[in-house]
Amino acid sequence: MSSDLSKSEREALKAIYRHTKDGREAHTGDLAETLNVSPGTVTATIKRLADRGLVLHKPYHGVTFTDEGRRTAVAAIRRHRIVERFLADMLGYAWNEADRLAPTFEHDLPEEVEERIFMALNRPTTCPHGFPIPEPETDHIPEMPPLYDLEAGDVAEVALPSSTDPEVVRFLEELGVRPGVRVEVREKHPFDGPLVLRVGGHDRTLGERIARHIYVRPLTGKAKPNGARQAGTNDRKASERENGDNVATEKEGTNV
């Protein structure tokens, strides 16, 4: 990762990654909202990144990565998640506090110190939210499907963005659904009906809307994309259909 990037440039790279990971271009307005800055500030930052050869910017179209830019963005996300892990494991911060605090010093961290922290933490594979820590020098982070994409019988580990509403977090805590917890889908009711999950030896019911804003690492079975449904508790399948509301946006300060 380029050591001479400013904090704003790294934050912009992480935001661009989030907005382009499904193959789309990132647009100034979306980036400004994610970063909580003005569109003019975003435009100036993108110009600097383009001058460095990290992004390609077409006015009135959008922003995409160069190969080097994508690797640099993934390296920045890797650093953020390692620092989160340090704050949670070594300093005792809650998973949703670690994300808020990590940007305060991650950008000034020498790469040597980052690697030593990673080793001292015994090479963690996920951040405290349950999202994967990417390998060094890679340009890709494995995608995690929403919980609602799973089918009856599937087993997975939970990941929660820190953009999750605090009231939803409290509700999920009461159910035992938190980052890193293993869940099994016992039933999936048809027509956008609720899931029945096995969590910690108990059956818990979770509505479709919330289940779409929880991400998972499948351990068995195969999650079906785009909201494929299972009809009832048997093997009857409802036809797959497109569903555009199954992605919760991760914002910075919201677990990149």
- H helix count then E strand count, the chain: 8, 7
111-120 and 67-89 helices cross at what angle (nearest 10)?
50
Q: Domain ranges in the chain?
A: 1-141, 147-227
User: Distance (Å, rounded) from C-alpha 106 to C-alpha 251?
Assistant: 17
Q: Specify the 3-state DSSP secondary structure of 256.
A: coil
Q: pLDDT for 193-217, tens place per residue?
A: 999 999 999 999 999 999 999 999 9
What would the pLDDT profile of 75-115 be if each residue is shown by its tens digit?
999 999 999 999 999 999 999 899 999 998 898 899 999 99
CB burial of residue 246 (10 Å; 0-12, 13-18, 19+) = middle
pLDDT of residue 23: 83
For the stretch 14-27, pLDDT in tens is 999 999 988 889 99
pLDDT of residue 60: 78
Give the integer Cα–Cα distance in Å for 59 and 68.
21
Domain 147-227 sits in which CATH superfamily?
Ferrous iron transport protein A (FeoA) (2.30.30.90)
Class of domain 1-141: mainly alpha
Q: How far apart are the first and last CA of the chain?
A: 16
Handedness of CA 191, 223, 255, 99 (dihedral sign): positive
- 244 vs 196: which has the higher pLDDT: 196
Residue 62 structure tokens: 């959008």
